[in-house]
Amino acid sequence: MPQGFGSNQAPDWGFGDVEPSPWDGVVRSWGFGDVAPLATLPVSIEGEAGQVFPDDGGEIVTLIAPWPAVGPYRVRLIASGGAAFPTGGFCTAPLVVRLGAIVARDNPQVCFTGAARRRLSFILPPLPVDLYSVEVTRNGEVTTLFNALRVVFRQRCIEDYRIRSAFPGNYTTGPRALSLERTTRPPHGPLEALTRSFGQNAQQLAGRPVTRLGADWTPGDVTVTLESALGWPTSGAFWLAGVRWTYEGINTTTGTLSDVWPSSRQFVTIAEGQEVVCDASAVEPS
């Protein structure tokens, strides 16, 4: 249905249109060449609904909207308690994605869209586990996606430890085994961050989601609590304590797998902190 300039069918949105705009139902046409206010843009986060992100940062988040200009934009994340990240000003990406390539910028606090003005990308900094609103600002105008981005505890990565084990023992590589991992602190230090980065790439190339048991499992429990269910399918199978288990439901916020069933009966309690590996080969296509 034609909706361009001069159309006799609503909504026209063209210059001089008498219909209230669909953006707010009040303002008449923005007029030819006018730029719609930022707050009226239909913004969404690229990806599947309900997707979550890790707390150690590094993931690229893309906001989809008909952005009025290439930039610059400032993006910051507002936690449920009102704290803005990073504190002390507008956050944003130390790097931006522009025209499909990641480029460093002189000012790390500004973001730009691609040439099509469709995708505005930024890279997540390390954040506390929480539900965040995303605030985008340009020329004093603000648009906010409320409670749009959930950050959960990070995945573990077996490949990290294999890389670190190749270094001499006196090198500060960070934990060299899953059991030695700290619970909350994100990786830091140059060698730890580098090995983590290489490990994550190796995992994404040919690995499987790995995490730890978040709470003791006792015989008879029909749920298993993970440190993080990031990247796990909604139902499937996993390996724990040398046994393959199946599960029917997942809660990515709490990291809980429900309706779990071990392939052989378990008689003893499995302690928190044990390695849990997702059986990715069991993921069935839709």
Q: Where along the sequence are the contacts to another protein (CB under 8 A)?
A: 51, 53-54, 59, 155, 157, 200, 203-209, 222, 230-233, 236, 246, 248, 259-261, 278, 280-281, 283, 285-286
Q: Confirm if 235 and 249 have CB atoms less than 8 A apart.
A: yes
Give the integer Cα–Cα distance in Å for 286 and 284. 6
- Distance of alpha carbon 208 from alpha carbon 200, whole angstroms: 10
Strand partners, 251: 256
For strand 52-54 and strand 141-152, is the pairing parallel, antiparallel, or unpaired?
parallel
Residue 209 CB, nearest approach to another protein (Å): 5
Q: Rounded to whole angstroms, how far apart are CA atoms 54 and 32?
A: 43
Residue 133, both tokens: 């609103």
The residue (of 70 and 193) whose beta carbon lies closer to another protein is 193
Side-chain-side CA neighbours of 245 within 13 Å: the count stands at: 24
What is the smallest separation between the CB atom of 121 and another protein, expressed in angstroms? 15
Which one, 107 or 264, has the nearer CB to another protein? 264
Residue number, 168 or 220, with CB nearest to another protein: 220
- Of 183 and 286, CB closest to another protein: 286
Assess contact for 147 and 220: CB atoms under 8 A: no
Shortest reach from residue 160's CB to another protein, in Å: 12
Local structure of 226: helix, strand or coil: strand
Residues 69 and 116: beta-carbon distance below 8 Å:
no
Residue 232 CB, shortest distance to another protein, in Å, is 6
Say how far apart CA 185 and CA 126 lie, in whole Å.
Answer: 10
For another protein, the closer of residues 18 and 268 by Cβ is 268
Count of helix runs (H) and strand runs (E) in the chain: 2, 18
Q: Minimum distance between the CB of residue 123 and another protein, rounded to whole angstroms? A: 14
CB of 276 to another protein, least distance (A): 13
**CB closer to another protein out of 259 and 272:** 259
